[in-house]
Amino acid sequence: MINVSSIYKSFNGKDVLRGVDFNIQSGECVVVIGKSGSGKSVLLKHLLGLISPDSGFIKIDGLNLDELTYRELQRVRSKIGMVFQSGALFDSMNVYENLKIAIDRLTNLKQNQIDDRIEQCLDEVGMKETKLLMPSELSGGMKKRVGIARAISFKPDYLFYDEPTTGLDPIMSDTINKLIYKFNKKNKITTLVITHSMKTVFEIADRVLMLNNGKIYFNGSVNDIKNSKDVIISSFVNGKEILDLEYEKQ
Ligand SMILES: Nc1ncnc2c1ncn2[C@@H]1O[C@H](COP(=O)(O)OP(=O)(O)OP(=O)(O)O)[C@@H](O)[C@H]1O
Ligand SMILES: [Mg+2]
């Protein structure tokens, strides 16, 4: 379980997070939306313990990230698989080596078990035949799928995705959404997805959070966000620009 409580964060006097509160229950798939620059990636970095809040706290499985030693923080991080927008593969290593380095670091598996695990994870994302390819030989969608295979390879309790479908064609986006859904529902991995895509929200979210003006502006179900009459929410959901004035009024 993740508890985020009253997080404030500013950079050079600019308030980015202004009292963010929410929980993620074990097994949930929570999708975070919000316009560009609203602080979604900053929020994610807090959950990974990469930045500390100015005030407030983040607890993962009851542990306050700010109170942990480096070693304890590493132990918490080893429960989290992260899928970055770019795939974040090591360019000088082939697909097999990219997965092996994660499994080596985060598990005690022996070589033959590692090989089995790599086969199995690549198979899960439909990328078995790419094992010996270099990242430069893969398309964006393939890189993304290898990134997902690497993130699940050490059997994390949590999976975080930052904009998993950005830059992909609609069919590949659909494939990625289905993979996120599968690993959440079948493997019961607690999932947090940051996205601009309402299609992703509609296809996979158990619950939606919307960041706006440094706060959680909406926290509810897909149905509730779809039917919301609120101008800020409906303009985002329907992809329509509203005057900045409207944002400032809130
Ligand atoms: N390390 C930093 N130092 C200074 N400002 C930062 C830093 N990280 C983020 N910011 C600022 O915080 C704000 C929120 O950035 P963030 O990257 O979280 O937005 P986002 O919601 O992820 O946007 P996008 O949808 O475009 O990815 C931006 O104004 C950004 O310039
Ligand atoms: Mg971002």
Q: Give pLDDT tens digits for 140-184.
A: 899 999 999 999 999 999 999 999 999 899 999 999 999 999 999
Please list, in sequence order, all residues whose beta carbon lies within 8 angstroms of the beta carbon of residue 98, skipping any fewer than 6 positions away: 89, 90, 135, 146, 150
Note whether 41 and 194 are within 8 A (CB).
yes
Query: Ligand 1 mean position to 43 CA, how many Å?
Result: 9
The residue to mutate among 7, 10, 11, 45, having the most atoms of ligand 1 within 8 angstroms of its beta carbon, is 11
Atom of ligand 1 nearest to the CA of 42: 18
Q: Nearest to residue 222, comparing CAs of 36, 28, 35?
A: 28
Ligand 2 centroid–CA 167 distance in Å is 13
Q: Dihedral sign, CA of 46, 50, 54, 59?
A: positive
Ligand nearest to the CA of 45: 1
- pLDDT tens for each residue of 28-44: 999 999 999 999 999 99
Count of Cβ atoms closer than 10 Å to residue 87 Cβ: 19
List pocket residues of ligand 1, CB cut-off 6 Å. Answer: 11, 16, 34, 36-42
User: How far apart are the C-alpha atoms of 208 and 226, rounded to whole Å?
Assistant: 11
pLDDT in tens, 94-121: 999 999 999 998 888 999 999 999 999 9
What's the rounded Cα separation, in Å, for the pair 5 and 189?
A: 22
pLDDT in the model for residue 87: 67
Give the total number of structural domains in the chain: 1
> What range defines the domain where residue 132 resides?
2-249
- Look at the chain and count its residues: 250
Closest by CA to 3, choosing from 61, 50, 78, is: 61
Q: List the CATH number of the domain containing 23.
A: 3.40.50.300
Evaluated on CA atoms 3, 24, 21, 53, the torsion sign reads positive
Instruction: Please state the atom number of ligand 1 nearest to the C-alpha of residue 35.
Output: 25
pTM of the model: 0.92
Nearest CA residue ID for atom 26, ligand 1: 36
**Interval between CA 211 and ligand 2 midpoint (Å):** 12
* 42 CA distance to ligand 1 middle (Å): 6
Any bridge partners for residue 158, and if so which? Answer: 80, 190
Q: Closest Cα to atom 30, ligand 1: which residue? A: 37
